[in-house]
Structure 1
Amino acid sequence: MSLKKLGNRTVKLLNPPSIIGNYTIVGPKEGDGPLKNYYDQILDDDLWGQESWEKAESKIQEEAIRAAVDNAGLSIQDIDYLISGDLLNQIVASGYSARQLGIPYFGLYGACSTMTESLALGSMLIDGGFADNIICATSSHFSSAERQFRFPLEYAAQRVFSAQWTVTGSGATILSSYGSGPYITHVTPGKIIDPGIKDASNMGAAMAPAAMDTLIHHFRDTGFSPSDYDLIITGDLGLVGKSIVLDMMKKEGYDLTGIFTDCGVEVFDPQKQDTHAGGSGCGCSAVVFNGFVLKEMAKGRYKRVLFGATGALHSTLITQQGESIPSICHAITIDINSE
């Protein structure tokens, strides 16, 4: 019999893990965006001395993980498990990063939802008594994802307004059974929602219904209302998806005005940086969460945050066969108090 289940889908952690360390690394374009003062390291060159974009992404993730461990005052040997993922085929950026680190490794693919998926599963492992220290990390790279999911970089394809710009960056979070918070107290796993959209340049519209589904189930399961949170942040819906979620949630009786935003909206200035509908990629929610959200919680601006990253679970192969784009959203509650 489950002792920690709330309602239909949510888990209330009885021994909630504490976030004891984190780190972010971003590329030059991200470092020129509105959140530049929140990142720990901004690269001058997003190839970072490597022979390919894919190798650069793996290095970015590896170094973010190592720095997060240092930030937590731990050593690599203190870590029980690494849970990480990325956008590339066979999550090679994460696999090759894990090869260098030598930590027992669980590889995840949840597309852009991978940051909250890793935090959710890591929290449940610690709450269950299976580990004391876990690293949760994701990464993405504009140049590696662009040529895998869209067009060769040299093609210089014209972008429609609804298209988003893949973030170059990585964020890593250290969860521990020890520490003084902030804590991850609730986990609401998502389920696949497919509104039938086939346009791979309109990820926001494809993922918005999944975000709404998870948010509604979270509120129903926990009894919380939007006003119980200082910030509700999704990722990466961008400008299009954020607008859709606001409208759909209001029709369902949930007014998110003033407390809701999206990592894809916050990471870039679309007017100055020509990023159209905003940011995307596994690294987007990772760097916004580990940079902006956790640093503002440390300052006391936010005491309770609902973080729900979204992912479009498609590939170029299957969309070329005429399939639609199934999506998912996993949500977690981060609270400065453990109760």
Structure 2
Amino acid sequence: MKNKLGKQTLLFRQKPRIIGAYSIVGEKEGKGPMAQWFDTILDDDTYGEKTWEKSESKMLKQSLLIALQKSGKNKEDIDTVLSGDLINQLMSSSFMARDLALPFIGLYGACSTMAESLVLGSVLVDGGYAQNILAGASSHYCTAERQFRNPLEHGNQRPPSAQWTATASGAMVVSAKDKGDSVVAMGQEAKEIYVTHATIGKIIDTGIKDVNQMGAAMAPAAVDTIMRHFSDTGKKPDDYDIILTGDLGLIGKEIAVDLLKGANMDVTSVYDDCGAMLFDKNQDTHSGGSGCGCSAAIFAGYVYKQMRTGKIKNALLLSTGALLSTISPQQGESIPGIAHAVAVTTEGGGN
């Protein structure tokens, strides 16, 4: 297959571009070490809404609309919106899409959804099925706690291995290559960002059932996708300035590094994790951040801006997801993990 490398990696010959991005985070995230990279920091996590769920949907909608504005495109230019979240039946994304009144595909990959939306958006653009795609994802600490664990009013104690679901959203505009377009988001000197490859992950389940060990449950899937990406493409870790997983957190990141070293792959000089980056040790988030919005906000904030200014030239971005539900633990099921990878570059969109 001319656009397939190995078993799981897609080659994008038309080099879809990421031409606009925007990130919104909550108050706690805005006090963390990544604060300078986010576009909007809320001073109230309700965002002026009556419920947490409506707040999250508003965050996602605003991220998508402002990413669109920064790309220089209009709503009429968008072929499809690809988005997902953690709330039952994709509530945040579905009601956002109702308000935008644009063609919409809702995605659920748990916390892997941001990379999933970028993968599928790039496929549509590279295949000539779309000119411009809006891709996004969101999460909210209070909505996730209410759905997957216990409402905040219960005051439950969290074990040290638990992660803190990010109140955050991020969005990007994926567009067909067009030399007539100008880079408007960060000035004429800004670098173009091209999507060159995507490695679609497979579910890896090591039998972990503890919902407070999400990083450990997802780390093997992240490792499998990273190794498959390098096997399929022939690339090496030092071909990238950064390899960034979604939300393994502090424990999952350490496990991933150890597993890769055990497979004779040392990524320590270029590897980090969004969940480990989002908070510092004084913020009492235990093992770090998680949630769809964790990688979405850091991709659309930190990575996008660093690439636009040329500080990062080549990046391998993975969002990681734990595919449990509110029902699966009641069935005695373990926690399946998944990770999808997207390779992006500023170097002329080359392979």
Length-normalised TM-score, structure 2: 0.95
**Do 2:192 and 2:308's aligned partners in 1 also have CA atoms closer than 8 Å?**
no
Q: Superposition pairs for residues 1-339 of structure 1, below 5 Å?
A: 2-178=1-177, 181-269=192-280, 271-337=281-347, 338-339=349-350
3-state secondary structure, aligned to 2:306 = helix
- 1:193-251: CA deviations, max 9, x gaps? 10000000000000000001000100000000101111000011000110001000011
Q: CA deviation at 1:169?
A: 1.1
Greater than 3 Å deviation, 4+ residue runs = none
- 1:238-295: CA deviations, max 9, x gaps? 00110001000011011011210000001111x2110000000000000011111111
Q: Give the whole-Å Cα distance in 1 for the aligned partners of 2:247 and 2:46.
A: 24
3-state secondary structure, aligned to 1:215 = helix
Q: CA deviation at 1:181?
A: 2.3
Matched letter for residue 121 of structure 1:
L
Matched letter for residue 325 of structure 2:
S
**Do 2:18 and 2:173's aligned partners in 1 also have CA atoms closer than 8 Å?**
yes
CA RMSD, Structure 1 to Structure 2 (Å): 0.8
Q: Give the whole-Å Cα distance in 1 for the aligned partners of 2:192 and 2:40.
A: 23
Q: Give the whole-Å Cα distance in 1 for the aligned partners of 2:237 and 2:256.
A: 13
3-state secondary structure, aligned to 2:76 = helix
Q: Give the whole-Å Cα distance in 1 for the aligned partners of 2:10 and 2:107.
A: 20
Q: Give the whole-Å Cα distance in 1 for the aligned partners of 2:15 and 2:177.
A: 10
Q: Give the whole-Å Cα distance in 2 for the aligned partners of 1:308 and 1:59.
A: 25
Unaligned 5+ runs, structure 1 = none
Q: CA deviation at 1:79?
A: 0.6
Unaligned 5+ runs, structure 2 = 179-190
Matched letter for residue 215 of structure 2:
G
- 1:39-62: CA deviations, max 9, x gaps? 111111110111110011001101
3-state secondary structure, aligned to 1:44 = coil
Matched letter for residue 8 of structure 1:
K
Q: CA deviation at 1:299?
A: 2.1
Identity %: 54
**Do 2:15 and 2:177's aligned partners in 1 also have CA atoms closer than 8 Å?**
no
Q: Give the whole-Å Cα distance in 2 for the aligned partners of 1:292 and 1:175.
A: 17
Q: Give the whole-Å Cα distance in 2 for the aligned partners of 1:65 and 1:159.
A: 33
Q: Give the whole-Å Cα distance in 2 for the aligned partners of 1:195 and 1:110.
A: 18
Q: Give the whole-Å Cα distance in 2 for the aligned partners of 1:300 and 1:181.
A: 9
